[in-house]
Amino acid sequence: MGSYHIKGGRKLSGEVTVSGAKNSVLPILAASVITKGENIFRRCPEISDVDSMTRILDALGCHITREGSVLSVDASFLSECRIPDELMKEMRSSVFLAGSLLARCGEAVITSPGGCDIGRRPIDLHLRGLMKMGAEVFCREGYIELRARSLRGADIRLDYPSVGATENLMLAALAAKGITRIRNSAREPEIEDLQKYINRCGGKVRGAGTDTIEIEGGRSLTGCEHSITGDRIEAGTYLLMTLATGGDVLLKGLERSTLDPLVSLLEEGGYHVGYSRDEIWAAAKGDERMRCSVATAPYPGFSTDLQPQLAAFLTSVGKGSSIEENIFENRFGYTKELKKMGADIEISEKKVIIKNNNILCGADVRAGDLRGGAALVIAGLMAEGDTVIRNTKYIKRGYGKLEDKIRLLGGDIREYEK
Ligand code: UD1
């Protein structure tokens, strides 16, 4: 299962070069099945979710090569539209292939998507939108079969700005005749990156980053070169991690504005923060006390993907703070493990409340999902003594070269196979 062994209590200090965003590369890789010719993707994060996606693309007949962070995908000779069950369950993002396979083959067979267990995660908005474009949906024996002889442009209003539904519908719309409008769309920066990639391939999409996206379908798409945008969640994790140890960090290679909600919070809390367009520098002074009240929300609100890491950070300085979780109903599993380390926190309905400031102590803990696992890494680095974090497979889904990056900052972390 893998474990991280951390000797806590060291001040972390130094530079972090931010990797390409997990939530950008996954839908972009799914989109690549619609294109013909070679795609070169630069700055692909070395995470297991990318490995899972490339295994799926390989099973569909794409030609794939990889050298470090450069991935080449050629989907010219796609031969399959059914995603093998065991691969589908490895990660939720495989659901994007519903839209892209429908666009490419007029047919897709998927199973109920997998992913971290942080809530119900239904896909009704994806399916309703696809049906509005003319797709037929059959659910039988755990499979979802989608078919469309031809897709047609549609005016779709999402009941909720779902990131995955927005991206899936953008992909299917690429093959639809006429214009598709997605209203109340999600506005995450990763959607803008997807639009940038599609347009580089010859597509015509506009509006990403706003609440209405317009897709002109029916254009043929060729492969292109694209560099994946920086990962704001990875960046936020290192920001919180270094400050939690009383240290400082220079984050390089991130569109700074994408991390504004967290940066403002830290500035208000008295941390030194400086930035340019694509760098953030931050340092602890040593006497910070934060009392904040945060609520997770769709972008540009505070990201649910940073909620657990913020809670871990606040255990030492955030007495009286609370974080309300509004996106996923089951995202507090990590708090049980933080309590084992001495954190004085409690859950009250949708909120995690930091009751007291504590110096955490090392413990044997278990990651239950990706971002909850990252919160435990932060806690382990802050804590006095040794921490063992089990189930590293969850953390590896979204953090590439985590041990190397932490060691470069001066942290003491080792990975063991068991
Ligand atoms: C994406 C991100 C994930 C992030 C989340 C919210 C990727 C690969 N993953 O996940 O890291 O935490 O956005 O920012 O980009 N919902 C429905 N019906 C649907 C779809 C969603 O009810 O058909 C609900 C979900 O249960 C959840 C909320 O909408 O409560 C947000 O989900 P969504 O934005 O779709 O998240 P994901 O795309 O799964």
Whose tokens are 């994946």? That residue is 228
Chain mean position to CA 240: 17
For residues 70 and 219, state if they share a domain.
yes
Write down which residue in 160, 193, 227 finishes a domain: 227
Q: Give the per-residue SS3 of 301-336.
A: CECHHHHHHHHHHHHHHCCCCEEECCCCCCCCCHHH
DSSP of 223-239: --EEEPPB-HHHHHHHH
**Ligand 1 atom at minimum distance from 164 CA:** 38
Sorted by sequence, the CB contacts under 8 Å of residue 112 that are 6+ apart come out as 142, 144
**3-state secondary structure at position 151:** coil
Nearest to 63 by CA among 84, 52, 49, 77: 77
For residue 309, the CA-to-ligand 1 centroid distance in Å is 19
Nearest CA to ligand 1 atom 12: 305
Write down which residue in 227, 249, 273 finishes a domain: 227
For residues 34 and 99, state if they share a domain.
yes
For the four alpha carbons of 254, 324, 182 and 89, in that order, the dihedral sign comes to: positive
Write down which residue in 171, 201, 227 finishes a domain: 227
Residue tagged active-site, from 116, 139, 292, 361: 116
Nearest to 34 by CA among 102, 134, 91, 84: 102
Q: Which residue ranges have their beta carbon within 6 Å of ligand 1? A: 23, 26, 92-93, 119-126, 160, 162-165, 186, 304-305, 327-328
Q: Kindly report the pTM of this predicted structure.
A: 0.96
Amino acid at residue number 122? P
For residue 163, the CA-to-ligand 1 centroid distance in Å is 6
For residue 228, the CA-to-ligand 1 centroid distance in Å is 20
Mutation test residue for ligand 1: of 48, 49, 91, 163, the one with most atoms within 8 Å of CB: 163
CB atoms within 10 A of CB 63: 13
For residues 344 and 204, state if they share a domain.
no
What is the extent of the structural domain holding 334? Answer: 3-19+230-416
For residues 319 and 345, state if they share a domain.
yes
For residues 203 and 142, state if they share a domain.
yes
Amino acid at residue number 226? H
**Ligand 1 atom at minimum distance from 160 CA:** 29
For residue 160, the CA-to-ligand 1 centroid distance in Å is 10
Q: Are 409 and 14 in contact (CB under 8 A)?
A: yes
Neighbouring-strand partners of residue 136: 147
For residues 290 and 255, state if they share a domain.
yes
Nearest to 20 by CA among 70, 63, 56, 64: 70
For residues 184 and 329, state if they share a domain.
no
Nearest CA to ligand 1 atom 20: 123
- The DSSP code for 19 is P
Q: Has 116 been annotated as catalytic? A: yes
Sorted by sequence, the CB contacts under 8 Å of residue 37 that are 6+ apart come out as 74, 76, 222, 223
For residues 407 and 329, state if they share a domain.
yes
Phi, psi at 387, each rounded to 5°: -120, 140
Tens digit of pLDDT at every position of the chain (418 positions)? 799 999 999 999 999 999 999 999 999 999 999 999 999 999 999 999 999 999 999 999 999 999 999 999 999 999 888 888 778 767 655 788 999 999 999 999 887 654 445 456 788 999 999 999 999 998 877 778 899 999 999 999 999 999 999 999 999 999 999 999 999 999 999 999 999 999 999 999 999 999 999 999 999 999 999 999 999 999 999 999 999 999 999 999 999 999 999 999 999 999 999 999 889 999 999 888 899 999 999 999 999 999 999 999 999 999 999 999 999 988 999 999 999 999 999 999 899 999 999 999 999 999 999 999 999 999 999 999 999 999 999 999 999 999 999 999 999 999 998 8
For residues 151 and 77, state if they share a domain.
yes
- C-alpha–C-alpha distance, residues 411 and 12, integer Å: 6
Nearest CA to ligand 1 atom 22: 122
Structure tokens at 10: 């060291």
For residues 14 and 27, state if they share a domain.
no
The total of structural domains in the chain comes to 2
Nearest CA to ligand 1 atom 21: 162
For residues 251 and 199, state if they share a domain.
no
CATH number of the domain encompassing residue 164: 3.65.10.10
Q: Virtual CA dihedral for 18, 358, 246, 12, nearest 10 degrees?
A: -50
For residues 12 and 46, state if they share a domain.
no
Nearest CA to ligand 1 atom 2: 23
**Longest CA–CA separation in the chain, Å:** 64
